[in-house]
Amino acid sequence: MTWHRLLVLSLGALIADFLAIMAVNGAVIPPLVVMSVLYVGVLAALSRWQGRRIHIAVGALVVLLLIGNLPYVVPDLGHPETFATFVTTVVALLASVVAIGAAAAAAMAAGDARARAASMLVAALLAITVVGSAAGSMAAGDAAGRPGDVRVTAQGVAYPSALEAKAGTVGFLVENRDPVRHTFVIDGRPVQQELPAGRSRRVEVALAAGTYQFRCDVLGHERMQGTITVK
């Protein structure tokens, strides 16, 4: 294993991970397409040229893209109970950090002996991530509904556009049928419920007559919103 090879492998892992994220979401995500195309170009360049300048340029590019994506990465890292989202996020983070480190090491012509140790450390971290997240997902459990609950389904990264409820204490049983995490948030009310993939959660909140907006506040899920009419 050389640092150059580790850099190539981590960029390949990033491209595969972006494709996996789109497959899990069942949607083409333009920024991920752009980054995939960019990294394919970088891989083509790395197969032709090696040297200090190109390694520094590639490392800097990965740093910039990683910083730009942190707003998406950080919230998902807090939720290992949603397997697909968590594992693809950790892979993106690990592959980026390895690419940056490998590019820097290659640029400084660091000894290749440590490249092998670094790749083994990453493989171990990945194994812990997969096992831990699988266990967390299985343990996440489902909430039981109660008579009179307003039932809400999140499916295909969409919410129903309209819900109705009776004024007073309202129970919502929210079911997430997607392989990705969602949230159930009611604007102006203290409702901020995490919804692990494939799980249901119940929330109760006092609502006076009127209309309220509910939404999923996961970045990129802006179309998941609707209105609750309370009479």
Task: Tell me which residues touch Cu ion (CB under 5 A).
Answer: 182, 216, 218, 221, 224
Question: In angstroms, what is the minimal distance from the CB of 228 to Cu ion?
Answer: 17
105 versus 218: smaller Cβ distance to Cu ion: 218
- How near is the Cβ of 45 to Cu ion at its closest, in Å? 36
- The CA angle 102-107-113, to the nearest 5 degrees, is 55
Q: Go through the chain and tell me how many residues it has.
A: 231
Whichever of 98 and 154 has its CB closer to Cu ion, that residue is 154
Nearest residue (CB) to Cu ion, 108 versus 219: 219
Are the C-beta atoms of 133 and 44 separated by less than 8 Å? no
Cα dist. 30→6, 17, 207, 217, 220 in Å? 27, 14, 38, 20, 11
**Cβ at position 134, least distance to Cu ion in Å:** 22
- Smaller CB separation from Cu ion, 79 or 221: 221
Q: How far is the CB of 114 from Cu ion (least distance, A)?
A: 41
The enclosing H or E element of 229 equals strand 225-230
